[in-house]
């Protein structure tokens, strides 16, 4: 048995590895170790969630952003991005279409757009919850103040996605301009959790300057913080960012980390992300077979899809929501999974 397999078994048993052990797993794994981890992860996911994949309809309601993250296609310095902001009515129309397609979670994601007041955002959440009381609302609006998170939670938001991007402060500083703070982002995550949101953290796999030590730190952070959701996708360059010439992240390492997260936190909600589906055509199937149990098809109006371009060639900008859902159902059924019509809360 390889040393990596021994460590995977230890992780499965003790739900903990120390820093050096993580580094060694992340550095030394082979295809065979990947398959071994995927097998365990898939079994754990079947045990807790069955052969059921939850779908979340994502509405990318604004690409206006005050931040300037070096990796992101909608950073404020990208003057080639055509900016848009949906109205409350337009957002509600997306949810209406999504409800008809049997989505029971709506994810509202945007840049850090100060063009909506927090009261307006609360109003949108309240309207969605009133119109679809059987649905969950997930927000992904970036870093806000405590009172804003609190008001949104009181308005009915159930979950919040805020990838920490990296648990290594020095690495964070290489991905973001000096005006952004790693500590603030981490504080936001703690805040969200304390307000009772099902909270999602996560990273881009293979982001520039990321080392095995950085990822080991991320895994230790997941163990400590116990997020209800973890988003892992490969870094993909965007042509109008300072990282335009940086290499893509590894699809294999992304899949391996999905398996390791499933083993570490058996009940975590783990999406097979759009970035994973973008880097390889069967990325989402492979993600599910590695232990993922969530897929997030796009519900944004077709007219804005291409404008919410976080990275080059983003998947799903050409097909209608209905078409994507059918496509996902077929792909999932081909590998023995079915798509659920339910909120799909953390168990
Ligand atoms: N403004 C929100 C949403 C950001 S976009 C926030 O700050 O949380 C959602 C995620 O997309 C980011 O957290 C980041 O991890 C990912 N992302 C951005 N640019 C990317 C790129 N070039 N490649 C892969 N993922 C990217």
Distance (Å) of CA 343 to CA 53, 131, 266, 312, 338: 11, 15, 19, 31, 15
Reading the chain (347 residues) residue by residue, the pLDDT tens digits are 999 999 999 999 999 999 999 999 999 999 999 999 999 999 999 999 999 999 999 999 999 999 999 999 999 999 999 999 999 999 999 999 999 999 999 999 999 999 999 999 999 999 999 999 999 999 999 999 999 999 999 999 999 999 999 999 999 999 999 999 999 999 999 999 999 999 999 999 999 999 999 999 999 999 999 999 999 999 999 999 999 999 999 999 999 999 999 999 999 999 999 999 999 999 999 999 999 999 999 999 999 999 999 999 999 999 999 999 999 999 999 999 999 999 999 99
Kindly report the protein residue whose alpha carbon is nearest to atom 8 of ligand 1: 142
- The answer to whether 315 touches 274, Cβ cutoff 8 Å, is yes
Provide the pLDDT for residue 96: 98
Question: Which numbered atom of ligand 1 lies nearest the CA of 71?
Answer: 22
Beta strands in the chain (DSSP E): 52-55, 57-62, 105-110, 136-140, 159-161, 198-205, 229-234, 294-295, 338-339
- The answer to whether 56 touches 139, Cβ cutoff 8 Å, is no
- Is 0.95 surpassed by the pTM of this model? yes
Provide the pLDDT for residue 191: 98
- The answer to whether 321 touches 297, Cβ cutoff 8 Å, is yes
* Region of residue 278 (left: phi > 0; alpha: psi -120 to 50; beta: else): alpha
Kindly report the protein residue whose alpha carbon is nearest to atom 18 of ligand 1: 72
Strand ranges across the sheet with 294-295 = 294-295, 52-55, 338-339
Give yes or no for residue 275 CB within 6 A of ligand 1: yes
Q: Hey, which residues does 52 pair with through a beta bridge?
A: 338
Q: Tell me whether strands 198-205 and 229-234 are parallel, antiparallel or unpaired.
A: parallel
- The answer to whether 76 touches 124, Cβ cutoff 8 Å, is no
Give yes or no for residue 235 CB within 6 A of ligand 1: yes
Provide the pLDDT for residue 288: 98
Looking at domain 3-340, does it have CATH number 3.10.20.30?
A: no
Pocket test for ligand 1, best of 60, 71, 142 (most atoms within 8 A of CB): 71
Provide the pLDDT for residue 234: 98
Question: Which numbered atom of ligand 1 lies nearest the CA of 163?
Answer: 13
Provide the pLDDT for residue 245: 98
Distance (Å) of CA 133 to CA 58, 100, 137, 157: 18, 14, 10, 12
Q: How far apart (Å, rounded) are the C-alpha atoms in residues 125 and 118?
A: 11
Kindly report the protein residue whose alpha carbon is nearest to atom 2 of ligand 1: 142
- Measured in Å, residue 63 CA sits from the centre of ligand 1 at 11
Q: How far apart (Å, rounded) are the C-alpha atoms in residues 221 and 261?
A: 11
Question: Which numbered atom of ligand 1 lies nearest the CA of 202?
Answer: 15
Give yes or no for residue 165 CB within 6 A of ligand 1: yes
Where do the H-state alpha helices sit in 50-181?
A: 88-100, 118-131, 146-154, 169-175
Provide the pLDDT for residue 128: 98
Provide the pLDDT for residue 87: 98
């Amino acid at each position: 048995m390889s040393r990596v397999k021994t460590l995977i078994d230890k992780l499965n048993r003790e739900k903990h590895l120390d820093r050096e052990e993580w580094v060694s797993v992340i550095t030394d794994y082979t295809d065979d170790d990947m398959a071994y981890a995927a097998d365990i992860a898939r079994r754990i996911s079947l045990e807790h969630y069955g052969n059921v994949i939850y779908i979340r309809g994502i509405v990318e309601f604004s690409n206006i952003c005050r931040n300037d993250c070096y990796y992101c296609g909608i950073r404020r310095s990208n003057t080639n991005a055509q900016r848009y902001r949906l109205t409350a009515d337009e957002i509600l129309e997306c949810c209406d279409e999504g409800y008809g397609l049997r989505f029971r979670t709506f994810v509202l994601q945007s840049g850090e757009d100060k063009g909506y007041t927090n009261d307006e955002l609360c109003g949108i959440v309240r309207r969605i919850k009133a119109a679809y009381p059987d649905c969950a609302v997930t927000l992904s609006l970036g870093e806000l103040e405590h009172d804003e998170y609190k008001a949104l939670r009181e308005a009915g938001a159930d979950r919040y996605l805020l990838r920490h991007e990296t648990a290594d402060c020095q690495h964070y500083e290489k991905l973001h301009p000096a005006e952004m703070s790693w500590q603030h982002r981490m504080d936001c995550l703690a805040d969200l959790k304390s307000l009772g949101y099902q909270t999602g953290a996560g990273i881009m796999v293979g982001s520039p300057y990321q080392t095995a030590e950085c990822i080991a730190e991320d895994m230790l952070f997941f163990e400590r913080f116990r997020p209800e959701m973890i988003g892992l996708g490969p870094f993909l360059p965007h042509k109008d960012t300072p990282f335009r010439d940086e290499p893509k992240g590894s699809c294999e390492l992304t899949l391996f980390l999905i398996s390791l997260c499933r083993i570490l936190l058996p009940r975590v909600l783990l999406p097979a992300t759009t970035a994973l589906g973008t880097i390889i055509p069967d990325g989402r199937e492979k993600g599910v077979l590695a232990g993922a149990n969530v897929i997030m098809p796009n519900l944004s109006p077709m007219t804005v899809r291409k404008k919410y371009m976080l990275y080059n060639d983003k998947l799903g900008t050409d097909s209608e929501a209905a078409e994507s859902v059918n496509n996902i159902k077929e792909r999932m059924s081909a590998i023995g999974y079915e798509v659920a019509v339910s909120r799909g809360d953390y168990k």
